[in-house]
Amino acid sequence: MKIVMLFSVLFSFMSSALAVEKIVIIGDSVTEGYGVDQEYSYPALLEKLLNKETKKYKVINGGVSGSTTASALSRLKWFLKAKPKLVIIALGANDGLRGIKVRESSKNLEKAIVLALSKNLKVVLVGMKMPPNYGKKYQQSFEKIFAQLADKHKLKFIPFLLKGVAGNKELNIEDGIHPNRKGYKVIANNIYAQIKGLL
């Protein structure tokens, strides 16, 4: 009887130790880790940072190159199967680059946000910025949608995914758009600093 109880306690302890909280990041090529091996993508680096703490986390990379906010809702529905505790939405850059109407991008993001909140998930919204050549008016309109949605739904908000990385040749690959290993490390550190208090 004592042996059975011992195994029961041991199994319970092992199950607890193996339990992980899942974080899903829905994004585009930057989230996917374009230009580097997967182990150097910012979701992979973020997972390492989070696992320096007592609790263990699994960061699921939901980045797809070229994706726009139009895919946000359907992709979130898919990733809900993983039963995440936290969802980070980092979409929108390709909308801006393709000149998609700001109103459409906002609607797409909001549908995903509403679904996540309806499942009692914590949501972090990550903002994007457009290059100056897109015009000041479009720049401002585009950037506002993220702040407005975060404020409306009381979300944790990270204003710019590429903060400290965009425009820095030392932190980007040859195309000048996607980060290199050092750049992805900066992004991971920035996001870690913003979300560690939520976990």
The tens digit of pLDDT for each residue in 17-74 reads 456 899 999 999 999 999 999 999 999 999 999 999 767 999 999 999 999 999 999 9
- At residue 47, the pLDDT reads 97
At 151-196, the pLDDT tens digits run: 999 999 999 999 999 999 999 999 999 999 999 999 999 999 999 9
Does 2 reside within a domain? no
Does 62 reside within a domain? yes
Read off the CATH number of the domain in which 147 is found.
Answer: 3.40.50.1110
Q: Confidence class of residue 98 from pLDDT cuts 50, 70 and 90? A: very high
How many domains would you assign to the chain? 1
Range of the domain at 35: 22-198
Show which residues are catalytic. 29, 175, 178
| Total-model pTM | 0.89
- At residue 18, the pLDDT reads 53
Does 3 reside within a domain? no
- At residue 19, the pLDDT reads 67
- In three-state form (DSSP H/G/I as H, E/B as E, the rest C), the secondary structure along the chain is CHHHHHHHHHHHHHHHHHCCEEEEEEECHHHHCCCCCHHHCHHHHHHHHHCCCCCCEEEEEEECCCCCHHHHHHHHHHHHHHCCCEEEEECCHHHHHCCCCHHHHHHHHHHHHHHHHHCCCEEEEECCCCCHHHCHHHHHHHHHHHHHHHHHHCCEEECCCCCCCCCCHHHECCCCCCECHHHHHHHHHHHHHHHHHHC
